[in-house]
Structures are given as structure tokens and as C-alpha cells.
Structure 1
């Protein structure tokens, strides 16, 4: 996609690429606008929705700030939400309902370790 701003009545491959990305982001873009590669009222509404969700002024013009917001949203969307399933048991096999579990994506080197890779919040 080029660095040009896209707005109402823009046409072409850049518009179609934007519309495909907006759909990947999860906003509705009318199919006839996509098939004709035209930036119509539906695409404008989708861009406004993206801008509002990113805390930007919802102008409906796809500019560099909106492009950055969409790129960031698509990077986040490509990774599934972390999820942990299972049962936590004590060393004796009974449920450990009193335990607190935290899922972290970064190293917690400031926490004491029980053993390599196992962090403890116990003092």
C-alpha cells in the first residue's frame, strides 16, 4: 500500500488492499465497494471505526496515523490470545485452589526463582 491518503471516492489497488485489511481487523466493508475497489461510504465508516478504536479523530480519511493503527491492530490480531487450561494440584494431588497463577510474556528477573524457569512470589 502506498503512503498516499485515501478518502471518499478514491479507487484502485490501494483501496482494495485497505478494505481487505479492514475486514481482517473485523470491521464490515460492503462487498460491492471491495469488488469495485472504491472508497465509498461503507469504507469511510469502517475507517472511522478503526480510528475511534485507536483513539484517533474519526475523520474517515485513511492517513499515516490510521495506517499505523491498522498495522498495529493486525500485528496483534495475528497472535491468538494466550490461554492456559488444566488443573493445578499440590504435590499430594489435591486441588490447589489457593494458588495464584500469572501468565507472563516477559522475563521476571526481579522475582525470586524456586528453580530455573520457575518464579515464586513467595518472600
Structure 2
């Protein structure tokens, strides 16, 4: 079982993770807003691409930013869920078996919901 001191240390780490994710999400939202007016970014007068490859590059960059945004959003949700488990007194306990999650696992991944073995089973079944 985790001590109150350990729980508070993990809580602080999770809060920092959540804040970092919020900053990342805001950055990608700002980048998307810039995409609404691409000529402002490139300095181009016309919205007509001068080369078909430019369209592919722009699409790739948009998709890449969207992927990064989704990763940050997932990280944010995991942090919020972990903070909720702390508040409810369920932090550090597997949601699958109810067994304690080893401290080493929580140190590596403070938002962990399952033991390593259970995580492997879940991934295998997916």
C-alpha cells in the first residue's frame, strides 16, 4: 500500500503532466488556427498552390499536428483520471484485479491503471 507521502508525490507528478498536456493542446490549437489563414503564414498572395507536392506536404503537416494534439489530449485525460482515483482513494490499485500496482510501475507511469502483467493481457486480447 502506498503511504500518504508517496501518494502526494505522485499527485504532484500527475498535476505537472496534466499542465504539460494542457500547454501542448493549446499549442496545437493555435497552430490549427493559423491553418485557417495559411497565406499569412507563408506570405503567399494566392491560395493556389504553385506545386501539387505543396498540397501533400501541407496535408501531412496538418495530420501530424492533429496526431500530436490527440496524444496530448489522451495524456490529459489519463492525468485527470489518475487524479480522480487519488481523490476517491483508489490510486495505486489495479482496476482489473484490485491488486496493488507496484511502486516501480507507478514511478515509470504515474497514471497506470493496471499491473504490467494485466496490461500485457489487455493488449494481447485487443
TM over 0.5: no
Relative to the length of structure 1, the TM-score reads 0.29
Q: Which has the larger radius of gyration?
A: 1
More strand by share: 1
